[in-house]
Amino acid sequence: MNKSTTLRYSVEELPIAARVLRDGGLIAFPTETVYGLGANALDPAAIERVFQAKGRPSDNPLIVHVANQAMLESVTTSISVTAQRLIDRFWPGPLTLVMPRHPSLPSSVSAGLATVAVRWPDYPIASHLITLAKVPIVAPSANRSGRPSATTWQAALEDLDDRIEGVVCGPATRIGLESTVVDTTCSPPCVLRHGAVSLEMLLAVLPELLDQPPVDEATALLRSPGLRHRHYQPKAEVRLVPMQNTSQSIRTHDDATATAPKRAWIGLNPPIQARTYHRVELCSSLDQYASRLFDFFRRMDGENIETIDCEAVPSEGLGRALMDRIRRASGRDDLSNDSNSPS
């Protein structure tokens, strides 16, 4: 039997993992949002390996993670008033800010853009690891490109085993969806990706904020190239289904016939036709729905489920981010028609 070359680090072994990172190795680690695939942001060879390990298109820029003010100032040339207001209110936290890129950062970090996306995570294992590494750390989600993000170290290994030097075996992530991304370099500033720092929270600080890149702008997509590509997709077909209004009891796989397509359900309410589902995952809150979604996708792949029905939620607060991920996973979002999209 082949032995995995990817080492498992305990939380006590963070100093060793930090050393490997600093020296150009790739280490997956937990944050409050999802597991990240970490590499030294100042090392072009390490950056190149991140793109290879993930199978990520080279036009999709990476987020640079920092853990103190000096690191922040080393990756950007200026912190605008807009950016500072968001930093004061939401950092450390699940918010990524697009800012002017410092020339000392390899341009491959930003896929050649003049900007850089920066985040200061609010999670002790992540901030401790970055502080110990003493360099800013790029960390895309620790999944193969196009797959659901990894919310556990096991999921990170499922996708990246033997492609990376190590994984920090922390707990499952708290939020389960990736950070909110705001572009502070355009006027007015705009949201590029919705996340746990909700539009409502952002608007309270920046009333002029747009909830998406301006659609009439020919270059809108160029602002966040990642939006063009396939995302979050398990092997099963994902479908977004209307909110259910039922309190009927759930009866699952016992009643599903062996020949019917294997279906699974995740939502806040039980499905109306519960007996046609092999698996039903009932979430008690929006937070729980968000934190379980990607793990559920992966578990259902393990059970050869063919269709995953996801119950819609109101598009507000965290619900906006959740609906965005489900739509993209279903391939039904407006931006997913790019035939060049990688898997």
Query: Contact positions toward Mg ion, by CB under 5 A?
Result: 141
Beta bridge partners of 138: 39, 64
Q: How many CB atoms lie within 10 A of CB 280?
A: 19
Nearer CB in complex with ligand TXA: 197/310: 197
Per-residue contact flags (x/-) with ligand TXA for residues 153 to 182, judged by CB under 6 A: -------------------------xx-x-
127 belongs to the binding site for ligand TXA (CB under 6 A): no
Identified binder of ligand TXA from the candidate list 225, 317, 319, 331, rule CB under 6 A: 225
Shortest separation between residue 257's beta carbon and ligand TXA, angstroms:
39
Residue showing tokens 């987020």: 63
Identified binder of ligand TXA from the candidate list 14, 31, 39, 310, rule CB under 6 A: 31
- Tell me the residue nearest to Mg ion as measured from the CB: 141
Nearer CB in complex with ligand TXA: 141/233: 141
Q: Which residues are within 8 A (CB) of 43 and not within 5 positions of it... i.e. 6 or more apart?
A: 24, 106
115 belongs to the binding site for ligand TXA (CB under 6 A): yes
63 belongs to the binding site for ligand TXA (CB under 6 A): yes
Shortest separation between residue 121's beta carbon and ligand TXA, angstroms:
6
Beta bridge partners of 29: 36
Nearer CB in complex with ligand TXA: 33/127: 33
**Omega cis (within 30) before 92:** yes
Per-residue contact flags (x/-) with ligand TXA for residues 247 to 286, judged by CB under 6 A: ----------------------------------------
CA–CA separation, 300 and 305 (whole Å): 5
Identified binder of ligand TXA from the candidate list 98, 135, 186, 199, rule CB under 6 A: 98
Q: Which does 110 bind (CB under 5 to 8 A by kind): Mg ion, ligand TXA, none?
A: ligand TXA
**Cα angle, residue 226 at apex, residues 220 and 228 outer, rounded to 5°:** 65
Strand order of the β-sheet with 180-183 is: 7-9, 166-168, 27-29, 36-40, 137-138, 63-65, 115-119, 95-100, 180-183, 190-193
Choose one: 39-47, 72-80, 220-228, 263-271; the region binding ligand TXA (CB under 6 A).
Answer: 220-228
Beta bridge partners of 115: 100
Identified binder of ligand TXA from the candidate list 141, 152, 233, 291, rule CB under 6 A: 141
96 belongs to the binding site for ligand TXA (CB under 6 A): yes
Nearer CB in complex with ligand TXA: 114/272: 114
Identified binder of ligand TXA from the candidate list 147, 163, 194, 223, rule CB under 6 A: 223
Nearer CB in complex with ligand TXA: 190/280: 190
Shortest separation between residue 40's beta carbon and ligand TXA, angstroms:
15
* Residue 250 tokens, joined: 């759930």
Q: Which residues are within 8 A (CB) of 226 and not within 5 positions of it... i.e. 6 or more apart?
A: 60, 61, 193
Closest among 63, 5, 16, 70 to 38, alpha carbons compared: 63
Q: Which does 179 bind (CB under 5 to 8 A by kind): ligand TXA, Mg ion, none?
A: ligand TXA
Parallel, antiparallel, or unpaired: how do β-strands 27-29 and 36-40 relate? antiparallel
- Tell me the residue nearest to ligand TXA as measured from the CB: 226
Shortest separation between residue 192's beta carbon and ligand TXA, angstroms:
5
* Residue 342 tokens, joined: 């990688």
Give the DSSP per-residue string, 105-146: S-GGGGTT-SEEEEE----HHHHHHHHHHTS-EE--BSS-TT
Say if residues 280 and 322 touch (Cβ distance below 8 Å).
no
Binding site for ligand TXA (CB under 6 A): 31, 33-34, 36, 60-63, 96, 98, 110, 113, 115-117, 119, 139-141, 178-179, 181, 192-193, 223-226
